[in-house]
Amino acid sequence: MTLTQHSAAHRAVLGKLQRLLPDDCVITDAAGLRPYETDGLTAIREMPWVVALPETEEQVTAIVRCCAEHGVAVIPRGAGTGLSGGARPHQQGVVLGLSKMAQILAVDPENRIARVQPGVRNLAITQAAEEHGLYYAPDPSSQIACSIGGNVAENAGGVHCLKYGLTVNNVLGVRMVTAAGDIVELGGAVYDNPGPDLLALLCGSEGMLGIVTEVTVALLPSPETKTVLLAAFSQVVDAGNAVAAIIAAGIIPAGMEMMDKMAVQAAEAFAKAGYPLDAEAILIIELDGADAELATLNDQVTELLRSHGAYQIDEAHDAAQQARLWKGRKSAFPAVGRLSPDYLCMDGTIPRKTLPKVLSEIDAISQTFGLAVANVFHAADGNLHPLILFDANVPGQTDKAMAMGAKILEACVAAGGTVTGEHGVGVEKLDTMCVQFTSEELAQFFRLKAALDPQALLNPGKGIPTLTRCGELGGMHVHKGRLPFPELDRF
């Protein structure tokens, strides 16, 4: 659709944007719009109609008010690294990019908080807090690029979630612009707030309930010491039991990752991390804390790994060794990308105890569909990333991979889990949401949405499937190993 086909309302909004913002903050030309045609879910692309890049909260408010007045949709966008198409643009709405609002407003070591604008990168918060010996705990793999506003919208996680929580557990306050263009302040530098927990509701709402213009995050003292352990197992079930035993012993590791044989072999070929190629599964475990605390913890975990069948345990105490052990895991996605022209990354979460069962179901699904799967697993928190290998150039294989992905997510739901642990629903998992929720539950989600956004103008078509929806099923599609944002670690 060209601009001339747009309605008078759209023309009015565009006129307002051009009056309101500096020239370089309103993008309408094809070359300028191109970077906004997709987010990290690159299989789905559509040229936006217009991109607005406000520099102040007043501008955000004015844009949203104008869109509300004219009934035009708003698609909020952070850094565009999301993996589920939550920032997918369309011709009917204004892409509201928050990248220019990227100031760290305050780092307050006494209250252990930072106040930042939404476009501030996740890692930049930690970098700003470091001089006080503090850091921001959630570390999604895209943390060098992803923004805190997007982290709130997606309730971003990372490899340290079991011990340190997700975004929702580490954000104390936000300022947000409502669908009507009003500013609401939720929380602040305080530990609780009156009334139903709107702040928690906003986290993970995928830009559908409000637009974040400022975030107050909690900072933690940086751990004194870290150890990374690599344990190799000749059976997947032993690795699973070792994970359960560590937790049953009252130990919460900072991170605990599992990889199956195919993922290990791919990662080792790619990263030369020193992984044992004969292992059926490996665990990578990070322990952190005060020096005294870690001394005994390390021995305890090593003993548990050994007694649960680990035939090889490597310990890394210095930063270089630790980086080497992590490197294989962190490069698992591009490594798998070398095995196959394309792969699809799924994001189910399951109760940890069901891992052996779900893995054998995935194996059976893989055989039925005739497509191979490599599994990487945030073992600490039950978040499973099966990577389905396929070749998009073979007719029918893309559809087959997507159908297979849907079956895997169904198996996750049947095991008591969920269709998305950390990547979000976006447009990618709209169909599988129908597997997880009843029509009454979906209808309740819609009533909730309407309570905050009665005109349904904030990021329409994302997150919650309509009851009649039965569209295509997707995943994070990677062609010829070309990851979206290949410079980022993906784990």
Partner 1 sequence: MSADQNRLLIEQIRTAGENQRRLTIQGHASKSSWLPAASSDIVLALGEHSGVLQYEPEELVITARGGTSLSEINAVLAEHQQQLSCEPPQLAGDNGTLGGAVACGLSGPGRPWLGAIRDAVLGVELINGVGEYLKFGGQVMKNVAGYDVSRLQSGGWGSLGVMSVVSLRVQPAFAEECTVGASLSVDQSLSLCAQLGQRNLPITASCWHGGEFCLRLAGNQSGVAAACLALANQGLHQRQSGTGLWQQLRDHQHPFFTQSDTEAGPRRLWRVVTPPASPMPDFLTNPNDDALVMWGGGLRWLYHDDGAAVHAYSKAVGGWCWAIGESIPIDRMQAQIMGQLVKAFDPRGVFASPLGLAAGDS
Q: In terms of CB distance, is 252 or 394 closer to partner 1?
A: 252
Considering the rule CB under 8 A, would residue 299 count as an interface residue with partner 1? no
- Which residue from 51, 10, 14, 54 is spatially nearest to 30, judged by alpha carbons? 51
Contacts (CB under 8 A) with partner 1, residues 170-199: 178, 182-186, 188-198
Taking the complex as a whole, the smallest distance from the CB of residue 10 to partner 1 amounts, in Å, to 28
Contact 157, 422 (CB under 8 A): yes
Q: Is 99 in the site for partner 1 (CB under 8 A)?
A: no
Q: Is 242 in the site for partner 1 (CB under 8 A)?
A: no
CA torsion 320-326-327-329 (nearest 10°) is 170
245 residue type, one letter: A
Residues paired with residue 107 on neighbouring β-strands, in sequence order: 114
Exactly one of 42, 59, 147, 418 binds partner 1 (CB under 8 A); that residue is: 418
- Choosing from 28, 222, 234, 455, the residue that interacts with partner 1 (CB under 8 A) is 222
Number of H helices, E strands in the chain: 17, 20
Answer for the pair 42, 94: CB distance below 8 angstroms, yes or no: no
Residues 142-171 within binding reach of partner 1 (CB under 8 A)? 154-155, 157, 161-162, 165-166, 168-169
Q: Where on the phi/psi map is residue 106: left (φ > 0), alpha (ψ -120 to 50), or beta?
A: beta
Residue 321 to residue 26: CA distance in whole angstroms: 47
Least separation in angstroms between CB 394 and partner 1 = 31
Q: How near is the Cβ of 5 to partner 1 at its closest, in Å?
A: 34
Q: Which of 59, 61, 99, 205 binds partner 1 (CB under 8 A)?
A: 205
Contact between 112 and 76 under an 8 Å Cβ cutoff? The reply is no
Interacting positions 7-66 with partner 1 (CB under 8 A): none
Q: Name the minimum Å distance from CB 91 to partner 1.
A: 27
Smallest separation (angstroms) from partner 1 to the CB of 82: 11
The nearer residue to partner 1, 33 or 201, going by C-beta atoms, is 201
| Residue choice 81, 143, 213, 383 for contact with partner 1 (CB under 8 A) | 383
Q: What are phi and psi of 433, to 5 degrees?
A: -60, -30
**102 is an interface residue for partner 1 by CB under 8 A:** no
Nearest to 108 by CA among 27, 218, 194: 218
Q: Give the Cα separation of 421 and 345 in Å (integer).
A: 12
| Cα–Cα distance measured from residue 417 to residue 435, given in angstroms and rounded to the nearest whole number | 11
Q: Which of residues 339-378 bind partner 1 (CB under 8 A)?
A: 349-353, 378
CB-based contact 402:344 (threshold 8 Å): yes
Q: Is 414 in the site for partner 1 (CB under 8 A)?
A: no
Residues between 468 and 487 that touch partner 1 (CB under 8 A): none
Minimum distance of partner 1 from residue 86's CB (angstroms): 10
Q: Of 28-36, 72-80, 291-299, 469-477, which part binds partner 1 (CB under 8 A)?
A: 291-299
Which lies closer to partner 1 via its Cβ, residue 186 or residue 239?
186
Which tokens go with 142?
A: 């895209």
Per CB under 8 A, which region of 5-13, 23-31, 243-251, 367-375 contacts partner 1?
243-251
Q: Give the DSSP H or E segment for 183.
A: strand 183-187
Which of 247, 313, 414, 434: binder of partner 1 (CB under 8 A)?
Answer: 247
Query: 229 or 371, CB closer to partner 1?
Result: 229
> Closest CB to partner 1 among 32 and 109?
109
**Gap between the Cα atoms of 47 and 104, Å rounded:** 31
Instruction: Determine the Cα–Cα distance for residues 408 and 368; give it in Å rounded to an integer.
Output: 12
Select the span of 22-30, 37-45, 70-78, 285-293 touching partner 1 (CB under 8 A).
285-293
Q: 48 or 210: whose CB is closer to partner 1?
A: 210
Q: Closest approach of Cβ 423 to partner 1, in Å?
A: 7
- Could you say whether residue 323 binds partner 1 (CB under 8 A)? no
CA 26 – CA 33 distance, rounded (Å): 10
Alpha helices of 117-260 — where are they, by DSSP H?
Answer: 122-129, 148-154, 161-164, 167-170, 198-202, 236-248
Closest distance to partner 1 from the beta carbon of 209 (Å): 7
